[in-house]
Amino acid sequence: MSGDPADLTIAEAAAALRSGALSAADLLAAVRRRAGATEAQLHAYLTLDVEGAERAAEAADAALSRGEDPGPLAGIPLAIKDNMCTRGIETTSGSRLLAGYRPPYDATVVGRLRAAGAVIVGKTNLDEFAMGSSTENSAYGPTRNPWDPDRVPGGSSGGSAAAVAVGSALGALGSDTGGSIRQPAALCGIVGLKPTYGLVSRYGLVAFASSLDQIGPFARTVEDAATLFEAICGHDPSDATSYRGVPPVVRPTLEAGPEGLRVGVIAELAGEGNEPAVLAAFGRTLEALEVAGAEVREVSLPSIPYALDAYYLIAPAECSANLARFDGVRYGRRLPGDTVEQMMAATRRDGFGPEVTRRILLGTYALSAGYYEAFYGRAQQVRTLVIEDFARAYGRVDVLVCPTSPTTAFAIGERTEDPLAMYLADVCTIPSNLVGGPGISLPVGRDGAGLPIGFQVLAPPLGEAVLLRAARAVEVLAGFAARPALATSEAR
């Protein structure tokens, strides 16, 4: 077999493993070599599980040599965002507050990946407690973009996106509360899928905003994203919000193409406010869809301009409630104090970073007596308007589309002193978290600096089949095959 195995897609690697052209041990070694060559610049990982990954690779090779099928992801090296519990492996959520915490159990999604035969390479960097859009808020230092290490990879799942883009994992899991899978996928030039809320268990995910959080995959292709989605979706009795029905079947229509597909362009997100290069790539993709037989029309969602404001009341309010459990009593960091109250105050003051502190304060204020209805209550009313607007739109079209991010990757440090500018990075992705429907980002071009541009497809709740069909059609039409310089043999 020619070429570097770290550059294979999941589908290609799985075929090579089953044919005997490649062993899981060799594939793991290739991914580790790539990490060794790039981690000093990128810092995509917080923890590498050397022994556990080797055991999993050996088990996959042994099963394949016996002619057994150890699962659809047998021998495939994957990375896990470090806000998902991994038994016996440090899980920090990018915070000093959880330094040294080793959970006694796996998150449901991690258990499902292991059951499918996956090899867990390690835990990836993120904005602290998944709060951010650049992975600069990590207590352990920023992750950098493989296309240009002076730029951010997006966030909060920037470590996962960077690892997949550079080839130090063939796929990864992230979490998406307001775009934290799709936005870094766009900035790193890969595919990122946020499933319907409830289709993937959140058991074992360190909670940020419980009505918005969703776990999903990063991959290099839509097909690979579908494979990972199938491995992790399905009802989980450990998650009270888990969907009890049968998950959508996505394979039969994945290659159905764009002909007859009704595509709605979100007027409020596809115009001014986007960089010219982003709009140009978006426009070219729409033209290609029309030529290929899709019906493209503009759709107005009047509540969209208010979605960002509503999100930044709902998410901090839920974060304020969820992070109250980090008190220095049961687990995690603890600083001494003369009283329990002083101990908790000292622990939180030392453990929480500036962005997490800002959101806790905003959320606590929004939930406080006398302000609850004026802020949190009103934000939930706006959320209902957004849901209703999307429902009406899906009565006319099959999918909605817009740019994933209004800009390509921005420079490290460019927005750290301006929280509002940072929050605007998620303006195109936040609405679907409020609605609860699935969304996906995939690369369709590059700007003048060679940085990737993301195209976002949205679908109604449980609409993963039509979502992935549309995304696959866009992928074929765009023909994006570029790789970041750090993933090339010349850079290594």
Q: Which residues are catalytic?
A: 81, 156, 180
Nearest to 154 by CA among 358, 425, 338, 417: 425
CA distance 367 to 352: 20
- 112 CB contacts (<8 Å, ≥6 apart)? 231, 232, 234
Per DSSP, the three-state class of 132 is: coil
Closest to 473 in 3D by CA, of 295, 257, 294: 257
Helices of type H across 212-258: 222-232
Q: Can you read off the two tokens belonging to residue 339?
A: 């009283």
Asked whether the beta carbons of 181 and 20 are under 8 A apart, the reply is no
**Which of these, 277, 184, 202, lies nearest to 240 by C-alpha position?**
202
**Angle, alpha carbons 205-157-82 (nearest 5°):** 45
- Sheet of 295-299: strand order equals 45-48, 119-124, 77-81, 171-175, 215-219, 191-194, 439-446, 452-458, 399-403, 262-266, 295-299
Q: Within a 13 Å sphere around the CA of 370, how many CA atoms are in the beta-carbon half? A: 1
Tokens encoding 134? 């650049």
